[in-house]
Amino acid sequence: MNYYLKLFLLATGVGLFNLLIYFFFLRFQIVHNSSYVPQELLVIALILLAIPIQFLVLLLMGWVFNKEALAFNITAICFMITCAITLWATSREERARYSNERVYQQTEKYDYQQGIATPEGYPIQLLSESRFVMSVKGDRNPVTLLETQKVYSNQWGNGETTFKSSDEGPIVIPDSLKLYWYSFLENKYYSLNTKLNKSKISEYFKQGLKHDVSGKLDQIIQSNYNELIAGIAPGGDVVLWISSFNDTREIEVFKAKELSIDQLKDYDIVTDEIRQQVLHDTCLCEDNVQFRKIVHNNRPIPFGTWTSKYRKKNNWRITINDFGQTKAKLMFRLFNGERYQFFNEEITQQQYQPLAIPDYINFTFFKDGKKHNAYLEFEENEVFRLFDQITTQHPNEPIDLVLNISPDLKQTSIKLQTKSDTLYFENMLKVDIYTK
């Protein structure tokens, strides 16, 4: 075979081998192509263009070493080693991204939003760098950001979430929570940087909840939690909930540290003018009659209420008499921000369980083919007093919170009952039954 043809075939063989090396490393590539020509083709073109250059180098080696085969072989091997080292060195970032992407793809992810809640009338302003922290991130990780430099004043347990586009896909569970905020009534700044109980959050996501699709209580499906809510209360108290469709469960409770003003960035400092504007905001919004009204009449802030008093648990359940109802849904909210719901036969199958004090009960039911709703809201002082009284006098007895509705839906009574005692509620804020 012609000498020059042999050299050209050798150069071509080296080029093809280099291509194989590149294709091996190509599996690590995570490329964003923003042009009509993918960047992988550019690398392939460069390797192919190197073949004539390698041919010329081999010609030079033949002239210098009198056409010795050993020199050709050593040169060819050097070409291949150089290509492998170059590709290995230049693909370091891609290899790291590839490794991260593999971890990301194997990490459990869920479609949820993140939000902030506060007690009614205790507004805060969320400061910069506040976020749920996710250590595992993919190449195309959905972006979810808490809305900072914003005043939050809503309802304890009911968070105001940040919008996330539905086509962004699921998000991994956060590892930790970083919050920085200003409390208007306290005139103080706080910071929280804490790890989260990922296993407990994951357990709730996997467990899911039941949801009424049709509104007729005939299509109860298994659904998913879709919100993680951080509740911020006076004194630096923080509660984390997972929530969806009238079902909210407490995950963890934290205590933040107070910040001095010299620890803040200039743009995070709340001016006295803004503070006065917020504290004097007494508007009555049509969609939220009470939650923005901030009038405290110089009363002391009840520090610890939301993480101590409201979280105290008793062993109880709700019992509803049979007054001719058929399909039904029972939803009740607790003072600690949690909400529970039961459907149809689950209502009568409730078990005693440690729960916080109830805030209100919403009982939806069908009777004589019509859909009705019973709404019962407790007076805070009375419901805490009665629960405390009955548990103090009978500490080891489970409690039934009994709701009795007359067959004509015109009379309603509600009481606490153990095997040894019965206490009636007399100062309910609202007892209303209406046809929906």
Mean pLDDT over 320-347 rounds to 96
Tens-digit pLDDT profile for residues 251-261: 999 999 999 99
Report, as an integer, the average pLDDT of 142-150.
84
Please state the rounded mean pLDDT for residues 105-126: 91
Q: How confident is the model at residue 39 (pLDDT cuts 50, 70, 90)?
A: low
Rounded mean pLDDT of 288-297?
52
Nearest CA to 240 among 188, 302, 195, 181? 195
Residue 287 has pLDDT above 80, yes or no: no
pLDDT tens, position by position, 209-263: 999 998 899 899 999 999 999 999 999 999 999 999 899 999 999 999 999 999 9
> pLDDT: is 58 or 38 the higher one?
58
User: 3-state class of 434 per DSSP?
Assistant: strand
Nearest to 237 by CA among 254, 219, 218, 223: 254
Q: Beta-strand (E) ranges in 162-271?
A: 171-172, 176-183, 188-195, 209-212, 220-223, 227-233, 237-244, 247-255, 257-259
Residue 143, pLDDT above cutoff 80: no
Inform me whether the pLDDT recorded for 8 exceeds 50: yes
Q: Work out the percent of the chain whose per-residue pLDDT is above 70.
A: 89
Alpha carbon 232 to chain centroid, angstroms:
16
The CA distance from 401 to 403, in Å, is 7
Cα–Cα dist 23/63, whole Å: 33
| Cβ within 8 Å of residue 154, ≥6 positions away | 117, 118, 120, 160, 288, 291
- pLDDT at residue 411 in the model: 94
The pLDDT tens digits for 368-396 are 999 999 999 999 999 999 999 999 999 99
Other beta carbons less than 10 A from residue 218's beta carbon? 11
Model pLDDT, residue 291:
44
- Residue 97 pLDDT more than 90? no
- At residue 157's C-alpha, the angle toward residues 154 and 162, to 5°, is 65
Alpha helices in 226-333 (DSSP H): 272-279
Strand-pairing partners, residue 230, are: 116, 240
Amino acid at 1: M
Query: pTM to 2 decimals?
Result: 0.80
CA 311 to chain centre: 22
Running DSSP on this structure, what letter comes out for residue 91? T
**Both tokens of residue 71?**
């020199």
Our measurement of the distance from residue 109's CA atom to the centroid of its chain's CA atoms, rounded to an integer in Å, reads 10
- What the block records as the tokens of 196 is 């989260």
| Contacts for 71 with CB less than 8 Å, ≥ 6 apart | 61, 62, 64, 65
Residue 37 has pLDDT above 60, yes or no: no
Q: How far apart are CA 157 and CA 246, in angstroms?
A: 11
Query: Which class for 204: exposed (0-12), middle (13-18), buried (19 or more C-beta within 10 A)?
Result: buried
Give the type of residue at 93: E
Q: Identify the residue whose tokens are 């309603």.
A: 412
pLDDT number for residue 327: 95
Q: For residue 330, which phi and psi values (nearest 5 degrees)?
A: -110, 120
Instruction: Give me the pLDDT at residue 289, please.
Output: 39
Mean pLDDT, to the nearest integer, of 26-51?
Answer: 63
- Res. 432: pLDDT tops 50: yes
Contact between 146 and 133 under an 8 Å Cβ cutoff? The reply is: no
Q: What is the pLDDT of residue 372?
A: 97
Residue spans of the domains in the chain: they are 3-104, 109-279, 312-435
pLDDT surpassing 80 at residue 196: yes
Q: Which of 172, 66, 186 lies closest to 119, judged by CA?
A: 186
Q: What is the pLDDT at residue 102?
A: 79
Mean pLDDT, residues 56-73: 78
> In terms of pLDDT, which residue wins out, 175 or 97?
175
Question: Is residue 63 over pLDDT 60?
Answer: yes
Query: What pLDDT is attached to residue 27?
Result: 62
